[in-house]
């Protein structure tokens, strides 16, 4: 996923072999601040761009839950950990964990949507796999030095 103005553009997806799938189609555009991947991308934006994104945010379950006063705390947490998570953004009963990184050409995000019942007890496993995926992508494109944690 990548930012597209004030939206998040899905550019690729990988399908699971299981029956239950919560995944967005490539080409779909959702509000940047209304998706976990978009929230993970926010710390990579300039202060001016973040203000414009927040000012123009369409109301979503996540945007409604996260008050603007909490945004600096949320962004600091993402900068400190390298990831963001949210519940109920795609549909009720699902959670998403995401990380974002700058590829020099543009910032990108990787997210994993998963049923909340499966996510909650194994959050650290999903986090570790997500960060390994990010590190592998950065390594493959020769940007290990820019890795964030």
30-45, pLDDT tens digit by residue?
A: 777 778 888 899 899 8
pLDDT attached to residue 33: 75
Per-residue pLDDT of 43-68, as tens digits, reads 998 888 887 777 766 655 555 445 56
pLDDT attached to residue 124: 93
pLDDT attached to residue 23: 58
CB 77 within 8 A of CB 35: no
Strand order through the sheet with 84-87: 84-87, 94-102, 107-115
The answer for 115, left when phi > 0, alpha when psi is -120 to 50, beta otherwise, is: beta
Per-residue pLDDT of 90-133, as tens digits, reads 678 888 899 999 988 888 899 888 888 888 888 999 999 999 99
Residue 124 has what DSSP assignment? H
Q: Which residues pair with 112 in a beta bridge?
A: 97
Residue 148 has what DSSP assignment? -
Say if strands 7-9 and 94-102 run parallel, antiparallel, or are unpaired. unpaired
Does pTM top 0.85 for this prediction?
no
Query: Quick check: helix, strand or coil at residue 33?
Result: helix
How many residues are recorded in the chain? 149
| pLDDT of 146 above 50 | no
pLDDT attached to residue 148: 47
**Separation of alpha carbons 90 and 129, rounded Å:** 21
Average pLDDT for residues 66-85, to the nearest whole number?
A: 83
CB 24 within 8 A of CB 96: no
pLDDT attached to residue 84: 93
């Amino acid at each position: 996923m990548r930012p597209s103005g004030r939206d998040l553009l899905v550019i690729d997806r990988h399908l699971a072999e299981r029956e239950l799938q919560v995944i967005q189609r490539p080409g779909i555009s959702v509000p940047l601040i209304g998706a976990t991947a978009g929230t993970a991308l926010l710390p990579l934006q300039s202060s001016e761009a973040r203000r414009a994104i927040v000012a123009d945010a369409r109301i979503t379950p996540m945007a409604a839950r996260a008050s603007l006063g909490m945004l600096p705390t949320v962004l600091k947490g993402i900068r400190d950990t390298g990831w963001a998570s949210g519940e109920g953004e795609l549909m009720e009963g699902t959670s998403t964990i995401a990380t974002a990184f700058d590829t020099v050409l543009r910032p990108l995000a990787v997210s994993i949507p998963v049923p909340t019942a499966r996510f909650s007890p194994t959050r650290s496993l999903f986090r570790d796999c997500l960060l390994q995926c990010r590190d592998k992508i950065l390594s493959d494109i020769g940007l290990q030095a820019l890795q964030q944690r």
